[in-house]
């Protein structure tokens, strides 16, 4: 089995477990965190498929922007804490996921880096489409990018102020 296949199976299994935990978790903040983990695993699968731009969009739009909106709603609704027994289950699942990641790192360390050309990965130092998007975003379109970040910061501060006024 190639290292890319092992990494795919690890990402896919973590994404499935995290997606189930989104539904099964009773605490909305825990569900939001599991949803972020699912989004990040899907982005990792996109990177394995050499679709770096889609992976970057997945992280920026879904794991970043959409989750900020979900957390705004959770803060504004002001829901109660989950039971302690549920927190133990979440800690156990988190420990399992952490062990899986450590196992993956040890496997890749023992069998070679997946970006090694002999292992069938991309050439090291080869510029991809993600680098072109990054250069355009941070060189050519830096002002609109910063304006959007300021607007998101103002929205976040506004949501915090509204949530504190109700408490």
Q: pLDDT value at position 45?
A: 92
Residue 87 has pLDDT above 50, yes or no: yes
The count of C-alpha atoms lying within 13 angstroms of the C-alpha of 125, restricted to the half-sphere facing its C-beta, is 0
Higher pLDDT, residue 4 or 105: 4
pLDDT at residue 33 greater than cutoff 50: yes
Tokens at 149, concatenated? 């970040």
Dihedral of CA 26/28/31/33: which sign?
negative
Residue 70 and residue 62 in contact, taking contact as beta carbons nearer than 8 Å: no
For residues 130-157, give the mean pLDDT.
80
CA angle 117, 6, 98 (to 5 degrees): 120
Nearest residue to 114 via CA among 47, 39, 38: 47
pTM over 0.75: no
Could you give the CA distance from residue 55 to residue 7 in angstroms, rounded to a whole number? Answer: 15
d(CA 2, CA 7): 9
pLDDT mean over 41-68: 85
Does the pLDDT value for residue 54 go beyond 70? yes
**pLDDT band at residue 158 using 50, 70 and 90 as cut-offs:** confident
Within 13 A of 31's CA, how many CA atoms are on the CB side?
Answer: 15
pLDDT band at 65 (very low <50, low <70, confident <90, very high): confident
Q: List the single range of 74-83, 84-93, 133-142 with lowest mean pLDDT.
A: 74-83
Banded model confidence at residue 166, pLDDT cuts 50, 70, 90: low
């Amino acid at each position: 089995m190639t290292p890319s296949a092992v990494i795919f199976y690890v990402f896919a299994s973590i994404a499935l477990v995290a997606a189930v935990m989104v539904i099964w978790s009773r605490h909305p903040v825990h569900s939001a965190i599991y949803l972020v983990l699912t989004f990040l695993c899907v982005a990792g699968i996109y990177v394995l498929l050499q679709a770096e731009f889609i992976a970057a969009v997945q992280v920026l739009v879904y794991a970043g922007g959409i989750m900020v909106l979900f957390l705004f709603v959770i803060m504004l609704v002001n829901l109660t804490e989950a039971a302690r027994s549920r927190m133990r289950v979440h800690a156990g699942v988190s420990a399992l996921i952490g062990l899986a990641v450590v196992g993956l790192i040890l496997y890749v360390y023992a069998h070679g880096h997946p970006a090694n050309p002999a292992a069938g990965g991309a050439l090291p130092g080869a510029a991809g489409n993600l680098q072109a998007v990054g250069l355009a975003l941070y060189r050519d379109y830096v002002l609109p990018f910063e304006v959007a970040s300021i607007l998101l910061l103002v929205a976040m501060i506004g949501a915090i102020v509204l949530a504190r006024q109700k408490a």
